[in-house]
Structure 1
Amino acid sequence: MAASMSVNADTFTSSNPFHICNICQKVIRKKENGVRVLRPVSSGPSAFIPEEEIVELSQVGPHTEQLLAEAYTPSGQLDNLTQVMGLHPHYLQSFLRSQFYLLRMDGPLPLHYRHYIAIMAAARHQCSFLVSLHVREFYRMGVCLDWLKGLQYAPQRLRNLNEINKILAHRPWLITKEHIQNLVKTGENCWALAELVHAVVLLAHFHSLASFVFGSGINPQVDTQNTSGFQSVHISNYCTCDLASDHHERDSSFSGTSPMTSDYVSELEALMERMKRLQEEREEDEASQEEMATRFENEKKESLLVSSGDFEDEVTPTSKVSRFVEDATFGYQDFARHGDDNPPTFRAHDYSWEDHGFSLVNRLYSDIGLLLDDKFRTACDLTYYSMASHEDVDTTMLRRALFNYVHCMYGIRYDDYDYGEVNQLLERSLKVYIKTVTCYPEKTTRRMYDSYWRQFHHSEKVHVNLLLMEARMQAELLYALRAITRFMT
């Protein structure tokens, strides 16, 4: 064996695309005879899901999947994102159809504007996977390549979107009709209302898609032509200990492939029992409107206590992504905050996607409302009537709890929903995961992914991410479209 190699923690961090957590840095410093670098769990599409399981679980044939990719994906290739999403082919088709329409078909915005807006949106969450994907689109088009030097090189008209981009990404409830008015006012850099709607849908789409990318551990896409300079940049606080495939060196409770134990079985059975009991209680006695309003407020306040602090480590953006970000310190804050004048609850009864948002967006940007509505419905209605090892299960209650919990964190309330079900159905580790993936996805780790629903299939966790993504996108759109409606009236 060759002489041992001394590895400095700081040197190791700078030469490795993955973040090293504080615990691992201490371990590295204690090593006197070098350090063995742990391998990622998978060199395939996902750092969370073994590659062979993606191939095995995928319910769409490789030929069909390739045809979908060639027809609808920006690169025309079967990228890592498409492969993971392919675990749910019915949803994948709906997703790719709407994304293709947003990026390729006739619409108010020119094509290069669309891809630049996608870059701006993805950069808010330091999502180098999506940034690099759309940087490559610029190289393919060969236009306005100077814009890729950074946001300050883009035209002022695009830079004016920065304010609404950061608010939509982190605190959408702050959007007002004045923000809309500032963008569509007269002048050489103004936006037509139809153009602005197209831009808003793009921003919401790529903010939420960043949540899916990080929540599913999508691995960086290799750029074989080395055109973008982003292919080696994967921004996250993944640590090698989170990505390690050597499970025996980690706490087995975080292993997605650990054998079934009595604890895991009892967790699953307890969830099944709670679902059954809630269904029986719902049929026997319906809570009053006052009680349901109180339960919403309680759940909203309780979300303040849900934090990823147990897993957090500081995430440092790289210059390759941060060049597209202004006001990088602006980030997520809880909708309900201690001691602050909180914004009023957004009541879906007063402004909903079905009754208001859909018609407005479809009127100003033809047909996109239909495509988005199909995508929302597909994600929410998707079911295989199974849950982990159980068959013939109605998962409607669980799917709605996941969707509505996201909206609750964003201050959106449904009068006909009993938010007491959220606390009954969603365990704390799952709530931590939901909040992280939805609100600050760049902080998601594999440890969070592994810590909830430990006996569920990977495809079921991907379905969770689809629901979180669509709930987040719809929440952003509701706030933005309500502001546009108020501006118009």
Structure 2
Amino acid sequence: IWRRNNLRNALTCLNCIKKDFKLLSSSIRYQPSLSVSCMFQVMVNGEKERVSLLFMKALISRGSVDAVSQQMASHPQYLESFLRTQHYILHMDGPLPLPYRHYIAIMAAARHHCNYLVYLHSAQFLRVGGDPLWLQGLEAAPPRLRLLSHINKVLAHQPWLTACQHIQTLLKAGEQCWSLAELVQAVVILAHCHSLCSFVFGCDTDSDFVPLSKSPNGTPPTFCPFDAANGNTAVPQPCDLTGLKERIQKSQEEREKREERFLQTQTLQQTDMEEEEEILCFADPSRFITDPDFCYQEFARREEDHFQVFRVQDYSWEDHGFSLVNRLYSDIGHLLDNRFRSVTTLPSLHSPDLKRAIWNYIHCVLGIRYDDYDYGEVNQLLERDLKLYIKAVACFPDSTRTPVCPRSWTPLKTSERICVNLLIMEARLQAELLYALRAITQYMIT
């Protein structure tokens, strides 16, 4: 199976390369005097088309393009990898039912009081048939979901506390027990949403988010505008969203007609229920968390406490985590691995050494160390205000504690700043997965 998956991925890459090569070669064939700058423009146009296609898919499936995707649009290759992973864990085949997946995402986002993601997944929870009563708070959810509360808070704030006992409790909880496959998918969703909160607050998306009272078609909106006052007006717009909507208008006409006929048959009672469900989308994130005072603490020093440093040489993503998660949750390992590789190869002004310093610094503050890395480089390459920003976004993103952008960011383009936030998000995602997967491994061998 592993060889077949690798072969399939290789063939997919080859097909993409062939398409890109044909596009470039055809441009050169018909333009013999094509200069280097023109060739670069061809590549830029290709990237714009790539983003346009991704946005068109989002418009067709959701009716809008969310703010996170717009922020990531300056890095199309990564955006494609991110959206593919997110779509897989939230919508494709898996052991967990769709309402469970979005409710787990709500629980994860609520740990950081991320109104934007709580609202977004609340709306999606209702769309896939979730029980509106669950949105009244965690106490209204099924006991199985409430059992995730402890591992949710530990992974979100102090992942080094994740232990084999937590896994055992979930897998041997009587009638409410989780299967190993269900737990792995739940852990992936929790880690994905925790790290996405870091990106949302790092890009200041949550502070700009004001839920609309009602969208034109009666569906809770998923679009969050940018705030010009916060300097976000420089975010590139690689394609015209209005134009895209016009291009898919024909495909939506039939659906709109069906929706109109359906709405005409709605009773007053059903209309009141829709309004009630929409109000629930504005639920306070604190309803979905327990132990609200539990938060990030400085990782204990070895000489001061019993917590041991997580050494990558003993348990790494490449040698251990990837194979385990891919075996228990088919194909997700490949998708996650592609995300990690994409973010570290993003074209930017930052040197590979600086990217590695950011990655390793985030892992360090979360208790993960690399024996073959000289941590003196962190202080050499990262200015103090940048370190403070990175630590804030990675460890305690919160709507009440939005980190201040470092002064060294002033001359950087928006795409460069987004690149740093993407690095923070992916480094944190991998750190949480390593702790959770190591605990699962320990449970399996005991």
* TM-score, with structure 2 as normaliser: 0.72
Deviations 1:248-303 (A, max 9, x none): xxxxxxx899xxxxxxxxxxxxxxxxxxxxxxxxxxxxxxxxxxxxxxxxxxxxxx
2:198 aligns with: 211
Q: Distance in 1 between matches of 2:133 and 2:327?
A: 34
Which of 365, 376, 400 in structure 1 is aligned with 2:340?
Answer: 376
Q: How does 1:88-167 map to 2 (within 5 A)?
A: 88-167=75-154
Q: Distance in 2 between matches of 1:70 and 1:371?
A: 23
Q: How does 1:40-59 map to 2 (within 5 A)?
A: none
In structure 2, the gaps of 5 or more residues are 1-43, 234-281
In structure 1, the gaps of 5 or more residues are 1-55, 235-242, 247-254, 258-317, 388-394
C-alpha displacement of 1:145: 1.2
Q: Distance in 1 between matches of 2:376 and 2:146?
A: 43
| Inter-CA distance 233–76: structure 2 relative to 1 (3 Å threshold) | closer
Q: How does 1:78-97 map to 2 (within 5 A)?
A: 78-97=65-84
Q: What percent of counterpart residues are identical?
A: 55
Verify the 8 A CA contact 1:124 1:166 in the aligned structure 2.
yes
Deviations 1:66-117 (A, max 9, x none): 224247x7x3521111100111110000000000000011011111000000
Are 1:400 and 2:356 an aligned pair? yes
* TM-score, with structure 1 as normaliser: 0.66
Q: Distance in 1 between matches of 2:186 and 2:74?
A: 29
Verify the 8 A CA contact 1:167 1:175 in the aligned structure 2.
yes
| Inter-CA distance 374–142: structure 2 relative to 1 (3 Å threshold) | same
- The AA in structure 2 aligned to 1:63 is S
1:25 aligns with: none
Which of 60, 65, 76 in structure 1 is aligned with 2:48?
Answer: 60
| Inter-CA distance 232–325: structure 2 relative to 1 (3 Å threshold) | farther
C-alpha displacement of 1:57: 13
Aligned to 1:334, the other structure's residue is in SS state coil
C-alpha displacement of 1:448: 1.5
Q: Distance in 1 between matches of 2:219 and 2:112?
A: 19
1:463 aligns with: 419
Verify the 8 A CA contact 1:230 1:320 in the aligned structure 2.
no
Aligned to 1:464, the other structure's residue is in SS state helix
1:270 aligns with: none
Are 1:477 and 2:433 an aligned pair? yes
Which of 231, 245, 268 in structure 1 is aligned with 2:229?
Answer: 245
2:186 aligns with: 199
1:440 aligns with: 396
1:325 aligns with: 289
1:334 aligns with: 298
Q: Distance in 2 between matches of 1:120 and 1:186?
A: 20
Verify the 8 A CA contact 1:135 1:228 in the aligned structure 2.
no
Verify the 8 A CA contact 1:334 1:409 in the aligned structure 2.
yes
- The AA in structure 1 aligned to 2:363 is H
| Inter-CA distance 446–205: structure 2 relative to 1 (3 Å threshold) | closer
- The AA in structure 2 aligned to 1:462 is I
- Tell me the number of residue pairs that the alignment of Structure 1 and Structure 2 aligns: 349
2:40 aligns with: none
- The AA in structure 2 aligned to 1:367 is D
Are 1:189 and 2:176 an aligned pair? yes
Aligned to 1:351, the other structure's residue is in SS state coil
